[in-house]
Amino acid sequence: MRPTYLEIDLPQLKQNLENIRAHVAPSKVLVVLKANAYGHGVDGVAPFIAPFADYIGVAIAEEGIHLRKLGITTPILIMGGTLLEQLPEFLEYDLTLAASSLDLLSAAEQLAGSAGKRIKSHLKIDTGMERIGVREYEAETLIEKSLACSHVDVEGIFTHFANSETIDDSLPSNAREVKASLQLERFQEVLSIFEKRSVPHPRIRHTANSGATLRMPESYFDMVRPGVLFYGVYPGRDIERTIEVKPALKWKSKVVFSKLTLPGRGVSYGSLWQAEEQTRIVTVPCGYADGYFRRMTNHPRVLINGKSYPQVGRICMDQFMVNVGGDDIKVGDEVTLLGNGIIPEELADWAGTNEYEVMTNISVRVPRVFMGAVQ
C-alpha cells in the first residue's frame, strides 16, 4: 500500500450519527454519501453505516447505482438533477427520484405505467436556492400532477437552504431574500396547498441540511439531511455547536527522503523558497494529484512524529517538501497532513476554499483504511 493514505474511524461516524439522531428525534435521518462519502471512501463507509441510516442521499444516479451494486438496500434519494433518459435506471435499481420539474414527474409516471411498476419520488421545491426544483410560487401545478399519479409513489417533498449556517441578521442586505427563515416560510406555504385540498401531504417532509440541523429545530419535519456534519465537521466557523460530532478522517503519509540543504538553495519548481541557513528538508510522497492543493504552497504545516513543521517550496503533483530545521527526521517517519489537531478548516484557509472542497478533492488514488469495521 502507498505510504500516503486516509484512516477512517467508522465507529466515530456511527457515534456522530447517533448524536444527530438523538438531537432530532423523532425525525428520521438521511445520511448524505455523495462525492465518495465526502472523500471518506463510500465503498467502506456505506456498507458500515447503511444499517443505521433511515435514508441515504447522493447527488447523481451513478452514485446510487454504485451503492446498490455494493449490496445497499436502504432507500436512496438521488438529490440532484436527472435527465429523462436516466429514468429507467430508477426502476432497475429502486432509486428515489427528486421530481424537480413537471416534465420529469410526468415522464416518470408514463415510464412506470408502461413497465407496470412504481417509481418512488420526492417533490423538489426551490424556495430560494435557484438550483433545481419548482419554485414555491409555481408548485401548485406540480402538486396537482403528483396527486394524479398512479405509478409514481410521491413519498416525500423537500427543499434546500442556501444560508442555513448563517444567522439571518448577519446576511448582507442583498442576500436577505434567501435567508433560511424565509425559505422555511415559503416551504410551509407549499405544504398548505395540500391542506387546502384536504389531502395528506407526502409522508416525508425534509428541509434541514447540516446547518439547519444544528440551529433550526423548526425545520426538522419528518427527516433531516446531515452532510458534512455527519463526517464530524461543522458547516461554519461560528455556528452553534448544538450537537457534538468529531472528525472521522486522518490523512497520513511517511517521509521518503531526508537531506541537508545548504543556504541559498531553492526548493522545488520556481525556487519560491530558499534556505536561509543549513537545514534539513524532507520529502513527503503526496501532492496536488492526491488533493493536497498546489495553491497551498508555503502555507501548510504538518506533523512529523507529533511535532509541527512548515511545508516549503512549490507543492508538486506527487510530492511536497517540509523544513524540519535541525531535527533528525528519518525516512519512514510518520507524517500527518490532516487530523491530530490539524483540522479541515486549516487546509481550507491555506487553499482559499472551504472544508467541503478539501475533503471531496482527496484523490481516489489515496488508499482508504477503514478502522473498526466490525459491527
Please report, for the chain, the start and end positions of each structural domain, with discontinuous segments joined by +: 9-231, 249-342
The predicted pLDDT at position 373 comes to: 77
R_g (Cα) of the chain, nearest Å: 24
Contact 157, 125 (CB under 8 A): yes
- Mean pLDDT (the chain) is 95
The predicted pLDDT at position 371 comes to: 96
Quickly tell me which residue has 438523538 as its cell.
22
The predicted pLDDT at position 1 comes to: 79
Q: What mean pLDDT is predicted for residues 70-93? A: 97
Residues 6+ apart with CB under 8 A from 168: 176, 179, 180, 181, 182
Query: Looking at 117, 137, 246, 269, which residue is catalytic?
Result: 269
Contact 79, 102 (CB under 8 A): no
**Coil, helix or strand for 157?**
strand
Q: What mean pLDDT is predicted for residues 13-26? A: 98
Cβ neighbours, 10 Å, residue 361: 17
The predicted pLDDT at position 326 comes to: 95
Superfamily of domain 249-342: Lyase, Ornithine Decarboxylase; Chain A, domain 1 (2.40.37.10)
* Whether 259 is catalytic: no
Predicted confidence (pLDDT) per residue in 158-196, tens digit = 999 999 988 755 656 555 557 899 999 999 999 999 999
Predicted confidence (pLDDT) per residue in 325-335, tens digit = 999 999 999 99
Q: C-alpha grid cell for residue 27? A: 425525525
Strands (E), 50-203: 55-58, 76-78, 96-99, 119-126, 134-135, 152-158
The predicted pLDDT at position 176 comes to: 52
Contact 174, 187 (CB under 8 A): no
Q: Same CATH fold, 249-342 and 9-231? A: no
Predicted confidence (pLDDT) per residue in 232-260, tens digit = 999 988 899 999 999 999 999 999 999 99
* Whether 34 is catalytic: yes
> What strands lie across the sheet with 307-312, from one edge to the other?
257-261, 279-284, 320-325, 307-312, 301-304, 334-338, 249-254, 5-9, 368-371
The predicted pLDDT at position 166 comes to: 81
Q: What pTM does this model have? A: 0.94
Topology annotation, domain 9-231: TIM Barrel (3.20.20)
Query: Looking at 34, 120, 250, 254, which residue is catalytic?
Result: 34
Predicted confidence (pLDDT) per residue in 48-70, tens digit = 999 999 999 999 999 999 999 99
